[in-house]
Amino acid sequence: MHISINFGRQRFECEVPENQVVPVGRGPSAPPLADPAAAVRKALESPLDFPALRKALTPDDHIVIVVDEHLPHLPQMLVSIVEHVRDAGVAAGAIVFLCLENSSPHSWREQLPKEIQHIRMEYHDPKNRQRLSYLATTRRGRRIYFNRTAVDADQLVVLAGRGYDPILGYSGAEGFLYPGLIDEATQKELSAKLSMGIPGKEPWPVQREAGEVTWLLGAPFLIQVIEGAGDDLVHVLGGLAATGAEGQKLLDAQWKITVADRADIVIAGMSGDPTRHDFASMARAMAAASRVVKPGGSILLLTQAHPSLGRGADIMRQMDEAEQALALIREETPADYAPAFQWASTAKNATIYLLSNLPAEVAEELFTIPLEHPGQVHRLLNGRGSFLFLPDAHKTLAVPGTK
């Protein structure tokens, strides 16, 4: 059986016995969008259950665009939003790009047209109480301190990708606002709810709370982006918070798969621009593979990523065992707590082989066995046992069978 799986800008191909490959149940994938900028314009002009956004704006409004910096085609999509807002008479000086503290900045700002490059940009700082405002108290009695710029805005526009998350279950939409734009103490408190579980129909507690906080913010306009393979986009939809369920449905249709059984070896790929593949992306790929690998089995992660590493990764590099690292990560709750938790949890239960652009000594300190070239992957697949291939594992929710 011929198998190919993309990683970064490369492709790995191999021949394996068909009876050793675990079947995967996957629905039809949506075709890539030919013009992401046009898709955003349509989402703004014809959102779900809401008139065109520009009709809700006045020239005196101050607009905050909350930006997911990890999205492909980001500059083109932002241009569409800015043009739509300016069509309502809003001046460029009344617009702010607001990004999350832990995002990985790329060169997207330099790719914007010169006439909008001067739009003010702000990074959320959860430690700075001067940049936080008291928003409200939730039904459960939690006092919400939220980014001041966002609270003061006349209109929030959230441009974010949908995905799977160890705290929320489903990330993006309202989950990009909360816990992304709140105070550090609450972010750390919510980190205690990290899970390697599989999100389902019932929203996880933090996702329910995110929905309440979004309602307390008024009427943020959500632009939900569903990625396809590599750097493709397949859906862009606009609307208010109630449309989040539709985005979640489209995400599952694209990326939720079922497998007949757990496999002895899971080969996980990460395709597309490797500069978008950070430590968190790699950890999500490992978490996806960990759900469908047999206990004590092996995960082969194929990527061209060379991400920067934070405190959570540093903790792992200092420890001899993944279990020790997990304990200290839980105690310290670093900014990269979630991906460090996913990475160390996976390493505790499976052997991880890593083909990446990380230095070999760093990969070893992260509880993985570094591979230098794809030929080594071929040798690992020459033995007995079952194989499962997960393209774009960092976007995938793989659900194991019941055997």
Q: What CATH number is given for 2-23+260-399 in this structure?
A: 3.90.226.30
- Bridge partners of 171, per DSSP, are 163
Q: What's the pTM value of the predicted model, to 2 decimals?
A: 0.94
CA-to-CA dists, residue 134 to 138, 246, 289, angstroms: 12, 30, 40
User: 110-125: per-residue pLDDT in tens?
Assistant: 899 988 889 999 999 9
Q: Report the chain's mean pLDDT, rounded to a whole number.
A: 94
Looking at residue 332, what DSSP letter applies? H
Q: Where are the domains of the chain?
A: 2-23+260-399, 36-253
Amino acid at 155: Q
∠210-329-256 over CA atoms, to 5°? Answer: 50
- Bridge partners of 390, per DSSP, are 268
Q: Which tokens is 247 given?
A: 């985005």
* Residues 215, 227: Cα–Cα separation, whole Å: 26
Q: How many CA atoms lie within 13 A of 58 on its CB side?
A: 4
User: 331-372: per-residue pLDDT in tens?
Assistant: 999 989 999 999 999 999 999 999 999 999 999 999 999 999
* Residues 91, 82: Cα–Cα separation, whole Å: 10
Question: Terminal CA-to-CA distance of the chain, rounded, Å?
Answer: 24
Q: Which tokens is 334 given?
A: 């670093």
CATH of 36-253, one of 3.30.420.40, 3.40.50.11440, 3.60.20.10, 3.40.50.800: 3.40.50.11440
pLDDT reported for residue 104:
55
3-state SS assignment for residue 251: helix
Mean pLDDT of 199-220: 94
Kind plus residue range of the DSSP H or E element containing 89: none
User: 293-306: per-residue pLDDT in tens?
Assistant: 999 999 999 999 99
User: 255-302: per-residue pLDDT in tens?
Assistant: 999 998 999 999 999 999 999 999 999 999 999 999 999 999 999 999
3-state SS assignment for residue 307: coil
Tell me, yes or no, if the two domains 2-23+260-399 and 36-253 fold the same way. no
